Chains A and B, each alone.
Chain A
Amino acid sequence: MEFFELSVLVATIASGIRLSTPYLLAGLGETIGQRSGVLNLGVDGVMMLSAWFAYWTVLEHNNIWLGMLVGLLVGLVMGLIYAFITVTLGAAQGISGIGIFLFGLGFSDLMFQTKVGTPRPLRSTLGEIDIPLLADIPKVGEALFQHHILTYAAFAFVPAVAWFLHKTTLGLNIRAVGENPQAADSLGISVVRTRYLAILIGNTFAGLAGAALVLRGGIFQPNLTQGLGFIAVALVYFGAWRPTGVMAGAILYGLVQASVLKLKILQVIPRSASDIASMAPAIITIVALVIIAGRVKAPAALTKPFSRH
């Protein structure tokens, strides 16, 4: 097989779409939070916690949907905690996020070691769903329309989040408090309430991203995310705080990962270059960030706590 054979390209695209799913979900949530002016570096920790609780739920009850719901709820709870720390108490967002990350990393590991120990595969995982008619399109169907439900949901959320941010009152308020919270406050918009809601929604997405990792893979291990949440934060910058931009970044990252894997499998990338090739997704992301630096404008009030006084 050659890399540029159609069947190989199709499989690579399908793999890239799968790999991009958790990045896209987490990135969309982080976009909403950052548009309100709140940076959350704890996304990775939230994902680990939601992944653990989703895993444990399915392990105990063999119910995928319950596991997904639990993952969402964990994201919601962590969002509440983070909002309290950063919005109510006005703590520095960067270090608060790191604290959430460390908590998620340690607590999920502690719970895993206490409750499970040796990794056990789940009896049920998210299976592929073929979209009727579309999945039958030669090659295109295999690449784009034979994925699990959270992949479809992630891409469906892109226009939904864009519409939410630009066509709804809450979305407008989120953008307003992210640009100029004082002005928004003077217009009667509750900055605290708006940021709380943005963070809750954003962390719910992070919870879903963590659940996606474990419910598709069917296994949990400590530090399951391997820094995926931090990549998602970078993708928000890459995407210029736009859902479509984040999607483009997630797809790029996933496709590069998938391509590198496929080239290794086909032995096009020799073993001597394997480690360098593994860095490709991160390098490309850094290059892209450098290129767009200065060309995009972050929300003006990003990382700035709000105070009326």
Chain B
Amino acid sequence: MKTLLKLLTALLTLSLFAAACGSDGGDTAAPSGDALSMAIVAPSASDDLAFTQSMVDAIAALDRDVDLQVTDGTFVVEEAAAAVRGYAEAGVSVIVVHGTQFGGSLAEIAPDFPNTSFLWGTATDTQGLANVFAYYPAADEGGYVNGVMAAALSAAKSIGVVGPVEAGDAVAYIDGFAAGAEAGGAEVSIVYTGSFGDVALAQETAEGHLANGADVMTGSAQMVAGAVTVAAQNGVAWFGTQANQTDFGPSVVVASQVYHWEVVLEEMLALYDAGTLGGTAYEITLENGGLEIEFNDGFDLSDDIRTLGEETIAGIIDGSISTGQ
């Protein structure tokens, strides 16, 4: 009887485990039809209003038929590598490897699949691989614009930044933001929590900034949901990045630097169509439209500050303003 119970429990556990491990995509189905077969492997959720969602939205915005498969939430590098290899083995034509940390694995996998094109970001080089494109954002540009507006909005001239790990585009955004805010006469306090996903720590950091006198805040990575919640609870203005973060705090989000990866995806896929599978790094900027500052119409922003933001965008595009990065 005990043996039967153990067997039944094991079967139940396996089925629960299978259900629990289910998430969006991850099935490496063979591509079908005339649509371009693509896949994304990304470290956080597809709808995180941050890093991963920016790429999912970009592919949805492409002007072509795409047969898309998604494996998200694969923060563990080995899992992501398995997903990438699985998609390549299944014959997916273009695989977006959306995470700087996956570069080492990609260097091992890409040579095994010379007819597959890999798009890797955020990264500034292709590691010398002929079938790898790289992409990265000039996140400092939008950061600078946000910083200038934040300084103008801040009555106390004290701004708090909630950063994740000091790496990648988070650093570029935050450094650009600090430069813009300081150019506007504000003091900026930057804290890197050391985690991309610790929401509670992000909340506590935001509370600490408020206690320190900050009246405007910004941050990066998926853990900002916690910080924006604190901002919303305290009526403190927030500037977002990577995706439009208005939904996190409709009453406090002023503007967000939004990544439009589709601007460079179109170029990469045009080369793919012509038979070139990699070898070039691409940057999204304010000038090429890959970066856009999206304002939240629900926030009562004065025309002066909005004009200041738009003038700063124009200045960065025409080169008259430098972010210093």
Interface residue ranges, B against A (CB under 8 Å): 2, 5-6, 9, 13, 16-17, 19-24, 45-49, 53, 73, 160, 165-166, 189-195, 197-201, 203-205, 207-209, 211-212, 222-223, 225-226, 228-229, 232-233, 247-249
Contacts and interface: CB of A to CB of B under 8 A. Distances in A.
B9 A19 contact: no
Given A107-B16, A217-B203, A121 B249 contact: yes
A204 to B, nearest CB: 21
A213 B192 contact: no
Interface string A100-112: 0011011101100
A224 to B, nearest CB: 6
A261 B20 contact: no
Interface stretch (A34-42, A143-151, A172-180, A262-270): A262-270
A275 interface: yes
Contacts of B212: 1, 265-266
A113 interface: yes
Interface residues of A, number: 50
A99 B14 CA distance: 10
Contact of B166 (A217, A257, A271, A279): A271
B49 A118 contact: yes
Given A89-B5, A217-B203, A278-B192, 11 more contacts: A19-B200, A102-B20, A106-B20, A106-B23, A107-B19, A119-B225, A121-B232, A258-B204, A261-B193, A264-B192, A278-B193
B208 A261 contact: yes
The A interface, classified by DSSP as helix, strand, loop or mixed, is: helix
B208 A265 contact: yes
A181 to B, nearest CB: 18
Nearest to B167: A275
Given A84-B9, A222-B45, A226-B198, A109 B23 contact: yes
Contacts of B211: 11
A261 B204 contact: yes
A117 B47 contact: yes
Nearest to B188: A267
Contact of B17 (A19, A106, A228, A261): A106
Contacts of A267: 189
Given A89-B6, A113-B23, A217-B200, A271 B192 contact: yes
A271 to B, nearest CB: 7
A125 interface: yes
Contacts of B200: 19, 22, 213, 217, 224, 226, 228
A195 interface: no
B128 to A, nearest CB: 29
Contacts of A103: 13, 16-17, 20
A223 interface: yes
11 contacts: A113-B24, A118-B49, A119-B225, A121-B229, A217-B203, A217-B226, A226-B200, A257-B201, A261-B193, A265-B160, A275-B194
A265 B48 contact: no
B188 to A, nearest CB: 10
Nearest to A108: B20
A53 to B, nearest CB: 14
A72 interface: no
Given A89-B5, A119-B49, A265-B212, A99 B17 contact: yes
A56 to B, nearest CB: 16
A274 interface: yes
A110 B19 contact: yes
A121 B251 CA distance: 12
B49 A110 contact: no
Interface in A87-133: 88-89, 91, 99, 102-103, 105-107, 109-110, 113, 117-121, 125
Nearest to B198: A226
Contact of A275 (B19, B165, B203, B225): B165
Contacts of A278: 192-195
List the 7 closest pairs (A to B, CB-CB), nearest first: A278-B194, A106-B20, A107-B20, A264-B191, A118-B47, A117-B47, A119-B225
Contact of A223 (B16, B165, B197, B229): B197
B199 A217 contact: yes
Nearest to A104: B20
Interface string A207-225: 0000001000111011110
Contacts of B192: 264, 271, 274-275, 278
B74 to A, nearest CB: 12
Given A15-B207, A88-B5, A217-B226, A271 B190 contact: yes
Interface string A3-31: 00000000100010011001000000000
A213 to B, nearest CB: 6
Nearest to B247: A118
A278 B96 CA distance: 31
Contact of B20 (A110, A218, A265): A110
Contacts of B194: 274-275, 277-279
